[in-house]
Structure 1
Amino acid sequence: MTATLPVTTSTATPADFPRDTQRPDATSVTSLVTSLFSSTGRGLESGERTISARAAFQDALYDRTILIDLRPAASRAAEGELPARLAPLLLGGNGGLGDVARLAEETSVTLISSDGLRAERVAALLQQCGLWANAVAGGMSAWKAAGLPLVQAEASL
């Protein structure tokens, strides 16, 4: 006879964790965005708020986070896209961070980029603004290495 162990799942949401109620002013946010895209921008400390590709997949699959693909359209077309069910918001280039920040105010977001470094920098920026975000460690390279689902990019009309 095989014994079954009870499965426990976390029901924690971003609302369960206290946030700093004081928001940074526009100047400090602009400075953070500028440093984000500078060549000296630094990612998260090792292991801080990064999660594995498999954990990101599971969290997105069970609606515990929203995956946001930060890769440019050309990279998505060449490498494949995340399934729309998992990643409803796609960002390319440097635009759209406001959309990510608004989304991160409401729910947990998990960012993914080609190698994970840009996603880590954006996650760090959002965290400095008091928002709930993390990054996929190793980015799309780790996603593909784990054999997780990708779909062929649709041709633009």
Structure 2
Amino acid sequence: MSGHGIEEMLVRARAGLERVSAREAWREVRSGAAWLVDIRPSGQRAAEGEVAPGLAPLVVERNVLEWRFDPRQEVALPGVAYDTRVIVMCQEGYTSSLAADALRSLGLSRATDLVGGFAAWRGEGLPMARSASDRPA
């Protein structure tokens, strides 16, 4: 058998990233210096919560991330460029490391991820959207 285990892939991906804390991500996004990209599936966002809409988080599920962020593709997001600062967020900060590494492989040299993912964001008490369970009936 050949190839690399997921742990080795994760270590290699993170070696090329300057990962950011939830507070650092919040500051960058709030100032307009970075795009925050939530790659979690809709069910997970519904169950766990989301970043407040006022911070303009982008929801781009993992299965289409590279297509939406490759400036050479017709389906790329408007405004995406090789120098775009992208902070990828998953639930706990594992899948986002692999995803940010994939974006760097496409040429987005400023892509990184959020240490601890959305769980860290929530744990820091950073702005969140009201979830369905928080809304009055």
**TM bracket, shorter-chain basis:** 0.7 to 0.9
- TM-score by length of structure 1 reads 0.65
Larger displacement relative to structure 2 (88-97 or 109-118):
88-97
Q: Look up the match of 1:12.
A: none
CA RMSD, Structure 1 to Structure 2 (Å): 2.4
1:10-21 equivalences in 2 (<5 Å) = none
Match of residue 44, structure 1, among 1, 4, 14: 14
Distance 2:124 2:62 in 1: 26
CA deviation after TM superposition for structure 1 residue 144, in Å: 1.1
**Are residue 150 (structure 1) and residue 128 (structure 2) matched?**
yes
Q: Look up the match of 2:35.
A: 66
In the alignment, structure 2 segments of 5+ residues that lack a partner are: 72-79, 133-137
Q: Look up the match of 1:76.
A: 45
Q: Look up the match of 2:76.
A: none
User: 2:54 is paired with a residue of what secondary structure?
Assistant: coil
Cα contact 2:33–2:85 (8 A) shared by 1: yes
- TM-score by length of structure 2 reads 0.74
In the alignment, structure 1 segments of 5+ residues that lack a partner are: 1-34
Distance 1:128 1:81 in 2: 27
Distance 1:113 1:63, change over 3 A: same
Q: Look up the match of 1:135.
A: 113
Question: Which aligned runs of 4 or more in structure 1 are off by greater than 2 angstroms?
Answer: 38-43, 84-88, 100-106
CA deviation after TM superposition for structure 1 residue 146, in Å: 0.8
Distance 1:93 1:129, change over 3 A: closer
Q: Look up the match of 1:119.
A: 96
For residues 55-85 of structure 1, give each alpha carbon's deviation from its aligned partner in whole angstroms, at most 9, with x where no partner exists. Answer: 0000000000010001110011011111223
The one-letter code sitting in structure 2 at the alignment partner of 1:70 is I
User: 1:75 is paired with a residue of what secondary structure?
Assistant: helix
Amino-acid identity (%): 30
User: 2:112 is paired with a residue of what secondary structure?
Assistant: strand
Distance 1:80 1:73 in 2: 10
Cα contact 1:109–1:133 (8 A) shared by 2: yes
Count of aligned positions:
117
